[in-house]
Structure formats: C-alpha cells, structure tokens
Structure 1
Amino acid sequence: MAWNEPGGNNQDPWGGRRGNDGPPDLDEVIKKAMDKMGGLFGGKPPAGGRSGSGFGPLAIVILIALFIAAVYDSVNIIDQREQAVVLRLGKYHETWGPGLQWKIPLVDTITKENVTKVQSKSFSNKMLTEDENIVEVSISVQYVISDIKSYVLNVRSPQSSLSQAAESALRHEVGSSEMHFVLTEGRETIASEVQIRIQSYLDAYGTGLTVSKVNLEGAHAPDEVQDAFLDVTKAREDEVRLRNEAETYANGIIPEARGQAQRQLEEANAYKEQVIAKAIGETSRFNQLLVEYKRSPDVTRERLYIDTVQSVLASTPKVLVDVEGGNNMMYLPLDKIVNKQVSNSVAQSSGQNLTASDLDKVTRQVIDEIRQRQSSVRRTRELR
C-alpha cells in the first residue's frame, strides 16, 4: 500500500507523518539520516522517533584513516631515472618527469617505467641460410625506453613485439647470407644490419623502444653435423694459411729478383764504364809510347821486351838463368825445390810451421845449385 493512499496513515518513507501542510522538512530528513549513520558507527540510536547525538569516536577515527589513505594514495614520487604516464578515467592525461607529483585518487592511474636503464633480451634458434644450410644463431638485443607514452599505450606487450621483430630481422639477414659468411667474417655485418631492421620494425609498431646494440653471441652448425663442419672449417683454415704463405713467398721473392736484376744492370754498367775507361787509357798510353818509339826505337823495343818478360814470369815459380858466353839457359824449378824442402822440414819438425831458418836453407840450396851448374858449364867449355 502506498504511503499516500487511503489507509496508509499518512506515513511517509522518511519515518514521519505527512500532515496537511505539505512535504517534510529537508533539514529534518538530513538529520534523521545522520542519526542512523551515527548509530551504525557507535552513536546513540534514535529513541522515540527522536534523533541521536551524532558521530561516535570510532567514526571519527575511520574518517581520519580514510583521509590519510586518500592523501597517501595521491602522492607519487617519480625517481630521477623514471617517467610516468597519467591516465585520467582511462584516457591519457599527461607524462610526468622526475619529482613529487599529485594525482586524484580513484580517478588517475599512474604507470611508471625506468627510461634510462639499458635492458637486454636474448634468444636462440635454428635458421636456414641462403645456400640451404642450417645454422644455430643466438643474439642479444640491448634496448631502452625512449617514448614512455608509446611504450605504455600503443602496444599491449612491447617485449613480446621486440622478440618477434628481432627474430624476423635475424631470419631475414641469415637467410640472405651464405653459411660461411655467417659463421666467420660476417658476424659484425649481420649484427649491424639486424639492429637497423629491428629498429625499423619497432618504429612501425610504435613501441617506444630504441635498440642501442645487437650482439651476435654465437653462430655454429647444429650438433648433428658439428664434426663434419669442423673438418670443413679446418680445411678452409688450411686454405687460407697456404694462400697467405704463398703470398708471403711471392712478396719476398719478387722484390729479391728485382733487386738482383737491378744489381746485374748496375754491374754491367760498371763493367762497361771500366772497359771503356781502360780502352781509353790503353789508347792514350800507346799513343805516348809511339811518340817515344819514334824518337829512340832500340831503347823502346828493349824496354817493351823486358816489361813483357817480367809480366809473363812474374806469376811462375820457374826461373830461367842466362849463362854468360853460351847459348844454353839454366832452368831452376823453384816450386819443386821449395816443396821438397818444406816436406823435409815438416817431417823433421813433426807438423810445426815453416820457420825463417827453413827458408834460409832453401835459399842457400838454390844458390848452391846455381853455382854447381855454372861450374859444370865452365868445365865443359874448358874441355872443348
């Protein structure tokens, strides 16, 4: 039954009776509500339809606690290395930098992230190269948060997007290279190209991440073919070593041959100059000798004869002695005499060096031999 229908006793929903003078007083309605809350929190309950005495001590403590909690929740300290994104009722409001910041409780949502820390993410997988070989490659990607708004709002899971972008970029670069290049000298090149490609993917996704470094930590053949791969690697290393040795030998022998050729050219030029100079000197000496020969032919002829004989006999150990008054010449084999005397001296001295006395003996023996031959020639003449 409605409160204003017949039989409702004019009872209004606020606990009072509806008189004929209009609706209940608003102040009275508020007071009754406060009395009920006071009774709920420990105040005196209403008696005989009269209001209670208001809030109790427990209600005051609860209100103070709620106030402190609201103040504490509204204070936010942003560290020097952090930034924060503020969402007000789920919509982007602003970005906070380092310092003391205030938010509206139950209205603002704060997301803080460290934007200076270099984070790292690694993964490894088997991939197919351009020459249809399988290699196992592992990389680590170092990155920082460069745009916190994009990092928080644009992508649901930025780290997952980073992993997928890194794997896609690495597969693209490895699939465009040969196995030998990936495993040996191509590591730095591949890492650089992967970093550029990852960054382009992250920028297209709007992740707010910046890749600072990509390290190709390992690249090797699968375990199933590791032994065969080591043999191939050793053969290639031997090839490189032998090629280097050949190049070193070529680099050494070619300059040496050029030096020898240059030395022979210099010797030939020097010999040429020497022969020309000697010919010029001989020609000049002959011209001067010709002048002297025209002045005194006999003297010059005898002088030429003596010089010629001296030059011929200077290098021979044999001596020819012209005997006066005869047509015979005495022949003295000095080399044989000296060798015989030296052999006797060596035998007597038991291997000691030839001394001055030994030389004197040889000289006296030669002189005695000459005298004996001269005496023999004289006696022969006297007998004739």
Structure 2
Amino acid sequence: MAWNEPGGGRDPWNNNGGGRRSGGNTPDVDEILKRLKARFGGRDGKGGKGFSGAVLLLLLAIVALWGASGFYMVNEREQAVVLRFGAYSRTEGPGLRWHVPWPFEREEKVNVTEVRESTDRSSMLTEDENIVELELKVQYRVTSAENYLFSVKDPDATLRQATRSAVRQIVGRNTFDFVVIEGRQAVADRARTLLQDILDGYETGLIVMQVNMIDARAPAQVQDAFLDAIKAREDQQRFKNEAESYSNERLPQARGTAARQVSQATGYRDSVVAEAEGDVARFTQLLTEYEKAPKVTRQRMYLDALEDVMSRTGKVLVDASEANPMLYLPLDQLMKNRSDATTDGKTTSSLPSTSSNSSSNDNRLRERERR
C-alpha cells in the first residue's frame, strides 16, 4: 500500500505515525528508499513536492557532471597550461589534473618532447654578388609551453622566418665558394647559433636542436657552367697533388745523389792531397840521400827502375855462345805473359802504388843526371 493512501500514520514526512523506529532516531534504510520512491512518484495533490525534488536532484547531477568535466589527463610528453578567463594561470605536469570547469578555466596541452622539423628553400645573395640556392632543415622542440602559447602568435612561422633571416645574414657575409663548397657545415653551425639568439629574443619557448644544410648550389640557369668550374678546380687540385708527389719523390733522390757526389769528390780530393803529400815527403827524403851520396843514389834509382820495368815485361833468355841459327821463340807464352802484364798494369794503375811513383821519380832524377 502506498504511503499517501487514506489511512493515518502512513505519511513519511509528518511526525505522527511509525516513521521512526520505536527505540531510536536513525531511520531504516528500506524505509528511506521507500520514502524517496514515494516522494518522486506521488499520485495525488502532493505531486508538486515530488517534482521539485526531482528538479533538485537533476540540478545536483548537472553540477556533479560539470565538476567532473574539470578532470583531465596529461601524458608524459606534454605540459598543460591552465587558463582562467583566458589568462595564464599555471602550468601542470604529467598526471591526472583538475581545474575549475568551463567557462572559468580551461587547459591547453603542448607536446614538449617531440622533435619538430622545419624546411626552408630560398635563393640568397653572397658577398661576391653571386646567387646561391639553399635548402635547410631545422630540428627544434618546445622548452616552455607558456612562452610557446602566449609570447608570439605563431611560433612555428616565426621560427621559419627567423631561419631565413639568420641564413641570409650569414650567406651575405661569405663568398659563393665558401657557402657551396668549403664551409657548408660552418654556415649551418653559425645559422643555428644566430637562430637561437633570435628565438630567445622573441621568447618563443623553442630550442634549436640542429640545423642541416641539405643542398647548396648555383641556380639552374648557370648550373652547367658551375659544374665546369668545379671540375676545373678539382683538376687543378689533382695536378697540384701530383706535382707535389713528384717533387717529394725526386727531391730526396736528388739530394741523395748530390750528397753522394760531394762525398766522392771529398774522398778523391783527400786521397789526391794525401798522395801528393806522400810524394813530396818521399822526394824530400830522396833528395836528402842524394845530396849525401849522389852516385850511390843514382845507381840505386837506376836499379829500382829496371826492376820495376823488368818485373812487368816478358823475358826470353838466349844462350849466345851456341851458334845455332834456329832460335825457337815461345810466342804464345810471350803473348800470354803480355796480356797478363797488361791486366796487371791496368789493375796497378787503378790503384795508387808507392813503388811506381818512386820509380817515376827515380827516372826523372836519372834523366837529369844524364843531362
């Protein structure tokens, strides 16, 4: 039977009747559920109270849902910036977070670990008034979510424009050959430093990780001439390296040959000087002896000369006492002895001999004596 049917003591909202336990002040759970069911399901003139209660619960549910909408999750790679009435309030890290729901507060999440890329290709003028086409790739990431969202309108577009400005400044201070051939990495490193200074000045909340120069070349209209110039430069360097290699090979050989010839000449000079000094010393000694005993010295010199001559010639002894008209001469033996003597003479002439020199000196003295 419903609580609002006729009958006393069945209205759970009045104090008359068995609305409470007889021994205490705490209502029974079943009784409370029955009262709530009856409250929102009234059938008579008391249904207005049931309607107002339903509206209250509905409002409470809406408020609960509105409050629960303030919960949000921030993953490990992100930072959340909380805005209160559109103005910056705070920055939240990873985890389950809550803020006052809309329209009071809202959050914006920014990935601060992702490495982003920006590619720029443009034509620039070098210091020597040549045009060069460059293609650069910039790798960067966010370091401050607050500055990234509020310092500039579009940080990524700002980075692209700052990259072009920094590279133009560096290219304009260097020659075409340096940018294209010699200093490509140097240009990229300088561009990274200058670009970071510009971004820090704008407080963009970005940090440049790396700047890579993908391509650097002359315009297509002069590409063929540029390739010919590069080839000529490479040929020049190759010829220069070959010449240096030949020079490094020949110079040590020439220096060695020159040193050897100088050494041989020095040795020959020393030997000639020593030989001349020896001849002078022997002549001085011979002159001393000659002054003491001229006849004996001349006789000794004569005998030494004959000994020297006869020792190097073939000899045939003939017994003149026998009157034999037929003389046998061993010509083959004489020729052999002559060839041997000639060979010995060559060998002896190649080596300085003290006896030959003394014999020549004795011969000269003997000739003077005869005169």
Instruction: Provide the residue aligned with 1:129 in structure 2.
Output: 126
Cα 1:271/1:57, change in 2 over 3 Å:
farther
Q: Deviations over 1:116-172 (max 9, x none)?
A: 222211111122222222221100011121222211110111000000000111112
Give distance in 1, aligned partners of 2:246 and 2:283. Answer: 54
Q: Deviations over 1:318-346 (max 9, x none)?
A: x56354439x99694779899xxxxxxxx
Give distance in 2, aligned partners of 1:144 and 1:309. Answer: 110
In the alignment, does 2:183 pair up with 1:186? yes
Q: Deviations over 1:235-265 (max 9, x none)?
A: 1221222222222233333333323222222
Instruction: Provide the residue aligned with 2:215 in structure 1.
Output: 218
Counterpart among 69, 75, 79 of residue 79 in structure 1: 75
Mapping for residues 317-332 of structure 1, pairs under 5 Å: 319=314, 321=316, 323-325=318-320, 332=331
**Conservation of the 8 A alpha-carbon contact between 1:43 and 1:55:** no
Mapping for residues 42-57 of structure 1, pairs under 5 Å: 51-54=48-51
Give distance in 1, aligned partners of 2:164 and 2:132. Answer: 14
Give distance in 1, aligned partners of 2:263 and 2:272. Answer: 14
In the alignment, does 2:208 pair up with 1:207? no
Cα 1:172/1:305, change in 2 over 3 Å:
same
Cα 1:55/1:283, change in 2 over 3 Å:
farther
Instruction: Provide the residue aligned with 2:303 in structure 1.
Output: 302
Instruction: Provide the residue aligned with 2:91 in structure 1.
Output: 95
**Conservation of the 8 A alpha-carbon contact between 1:117 and 1:144:** yes
Secondary structure of the structure 2 residue equivalent to 1:325: coil
**Conservation of the 8 A alpha-carbon contact between 1:82 and 1:115:** yes
Instruction: Provide the residue aligned with 1:257 in structure 2.
Output: 254
Give distance in 1, aligned partners of 2:207 and 2:227. Answer: 38
Mapping for residues 327-342 of structure 1, pairs under 5 Å: 332=331
Give distance in 2, aligned partners of 1:45 and 1:199. Answer: 76
Instruction: Provide the residue aligned with 1:115 in structure 2.
Output: 112
Identical pairs, percent: 39
Instruction: Provide the residue aligned with 1:104 in structure 2.
Output: 100
Give distance in 2, aligned partners of 1:203 and 1:45. Answer: 72
Give distance in 2, aligned partners of 1:101 and 1:324. Answer: 146
Give distance in 2, aligned partners of 1:52 and 1:90. Answer: 42
Instruction: Provide the residue aligned with 1:234 in structure 2.
Output: 231
Secondary structure of the structure 2 residue equivalent to 1:215: strand
Shift of 1:94: 1.8
Q: Which is worse superposed, 198-207 or 61-70? A: 61-70
Q: TM-score, normalised by structure 2?
A: 0.65
Aligned residues: 288
**Conservation of the 8 A alpha-carbon contact between 1:131 and 1:178:** yes
Cα 1:81/1:336, change in 2 over 3 Å:
farther
**Conservation of the 8 A alpha-carbon contact between 2:66 and 2:101:** no
Cα 1:301/1:62, change in 2 over 3 Å:
farther
**Conservation of the 8 A alpha-carbon contact between 1:145 and 1:210:** yes
Give distance in 1, aligned partners of 2:173 and 2:334. Answer: 90
Secondary structure of the structure 2 residue equivalent to 1:104: coil
Cα 1:307/1:147, change in 2 over 3 Å:
farther
Letter in 2 for 1:96: E
Cα 1:302/1:161, change in 2 over 3 Å:
same
Shift of 1:195: 1.0
**Conservation of the 8 A alpha-carbon contact between 1:45 and 1:52:** no
**Conservation of the 8 A alpha-carbon contact between 1:75 and 1:101:** yes
Instruction: Provide the residue aligned with 2:146 in structure 1.
Output: 149
Shift of 1:307: 2.9
Mapping for residues 162-173 of structure 1, pairs under 5 Å: 162-173=159-170
Shift of 1:283: 6.4
* Structure 1: gaps (5+ residues): 1-41, 314-318, 339-384
